[in-house]
Structure 1
Amino acid sequence: MNSVYLLIGGNMGDRFNYLRQAKDAIGKNAGKILETSAIYETEAWGLTNQDKFLNQALKIDTQLNPKDLLHCLLQIEESLGRKRDVKYGPRIIDIDILFYGNEIVSAPHLKIPHPEIQNRRFALQCLQDIAPTFCHPSLHKTIKQLLAECADPLVVNKFN
């Protein structure tokens, strides 16, 4: 089994319900969910003139290799109605592979660790809940350290 950290999020429709549906589908199709962070609400990153996002980090154990896991997660997104129209645009659900153990993957459509994680406070805050001492395999810093150094000004609030 491989330990993987995922980030799920969305800013369209019933955001909380889409997160729940994504978690259910991940648990059934991608691997066993071991831990979940709190759910956080954040302003949009990248393309900022859109509704706020809900985000949550998951730790899963999977037997899928990185490429097959990506394929599985893309199918889950599609099954929930995800459309890929505008980069950083509004979306029903987004599922990102943040880390796949300590592996470093650089393929045309798959980069692990996620190449922007150190710049995204919302992702680091979610990960801080479940993996503060996890060490980024190429930056050699813990999630706690990366969060402390993150210059991202977007506000991240726990969602009730």
Structure 2
Amino acid sequence: MKKKAEIRKKMKISLNSFDLQEKQRQTTLILDQFLTSEVYRNSEIIAAFMPMPFEFDMTRVLADQTKQIVIPKTLPNRQMIFTDFDENDLVMTDFGVKEALSNVAVTPDLIIVPGLAWSHDGYRVGFGGGYYDRYLANFKGITVSLVYNFQMVDKMPVDAYDIPIKNIFTI
């Protein structure tokens, strides 16, 4: 079985070379599924993420004014909170991701969890910081991931602290 570092490297290469038209096509289909799903419709506070250029395009989610949108903010000791999304109140982090200046924590009822690869039973390989797994360890709400079809893998190493994602939207 491949190690997580190998999976990360392979997926970053695949994402960076993903055909733009195919990315847009899959993004539209996956978001159409997600935005009309029961889990989305029944949620009020949605935790999205600020994607890097090669990650899943979150524009439609971030623009949804019918929901309260929150985004992650990293804290010391690999901790994380979610804060209200305000595109006029963002700063670039050392990770190359935008996050809010605010330190007011908001608890979402649905979290869109980013990552690089997912298994069919919901386990994922993220970027290796462990921020989401630490947060999800005590999270009682709904977790989803929006996944391009090539990011699904048959087998993946699972560590004791890994938290599976409950709902995966892909094509």
Q: Give the alignment's TM-score, normalised by structure 2.
A: 0.30
Q: Give the alignment's TM-score, normalised by structure 1.
A: 0.32
